[in-house]
Amino acid sequence: MTDTNIPCHIAIILDGNGRWAKKRGLPRTAGHARGAETFRKIATYCKNIGVEYLTVYAFSSENWKRPPEEVKTIMKLLDNYLHEAIDTMERDHIKMKVLGDVEGLSPELQALVAKTDEISTRYDGFQANICLNYGGRAEIVNAAKRYAEDLASGKVTELDEKIFGNYMYSAEIPDPDLLIRPGGEQRISNFLLWQCAYSEFYFTDILWPDFTPDELDKAIAEFNRRDRRFGGAK
């Protein structure tokens, strides 16, 4: 990866866990367990190659519609991961943030999120963001409500994109440079609608549990071939 421009912020829609399991005659929950493992590997790889922010879509506000057993398994995997992350953060001085409607999570998960927030204030390294109970439209509506409250109380008087961005869950996080969607679908599924205005999109048929550092290298190589103009002329 010499002479490669490493994206500062990579966002990934974790898709294809269910199909990965089905292909092997396993329950969907086995796909999520493997997907959580893949996330660990890819996060470590991102940190090692110099990516500064990795944001993953782990559970959307619409995913509560899934069968209760499946939701329970995903929540358990996230609980395990947050426990483990607390140790890793302290060891490697990394930051982690949960983006989404945290109040809709279980009290146990909320306590873990509060703990990771607190540890994150101490460090300044690689940052992993987990979108949890997250919806892009809901995030924008939530930001508008909070802005309206601050406007009414006189805390703010101006409005521009930068000021409004500070009301998003992603305040202080730069916009994603590269958005990757494995799993074969080519849509954004209510993910980071505000933040992906100028992100480069990369789609692959590989199912998320099969995603490897090599696949990430391919996405980054493709990103390097893109000509990012941010609306400017050629």
Residues recognised as catalytic:
15, 63
| Nearest residue relative to ligand FPP (C-beta) | 18
- Count of positions on this chain that bind ligand FPP (CB under 6 A): 20
Q: How many C-beta atoms lie closer than 10 Å to residue 80's C-beta? A: 12
77 binds ligand FPP (CB under 6 A): yes
Q: Token digits for 82?
A: 């947050």
State the DSSP code for 177: S
- Other C-beta atoms lying within 10 Å of the C-beta of residue 132: 25
Q: What backbone torsions phi and psi does residue 84 show, to the nearest 5 degrees?
A: -65, -40
Is 15 one of the binding residues for ligand FPP (CB under 6 A)? yes
Q: Which of 46, 99, 130, 178 binds ligand FPP (CB under 6 A)?
A: 130
Q: Which of 12, 42, 74, 109 binds ligand FPP (CB under 6 A)?
A: 74
Separation between Cα atoms, residue 180 and residue 193, nearest integer Å = 14
The SS3 call for residue 234 is coil
Contact region for ligand FPP (CB under 6 A) — 30-38, 107-115, 144-152, 217-225?
30-38
The residues binding ligand FPP (CB under 6 A) are 14-19, 32, 35-36, 39, 56, 58-59, 63, 74, 77-78, 81, 130, 183
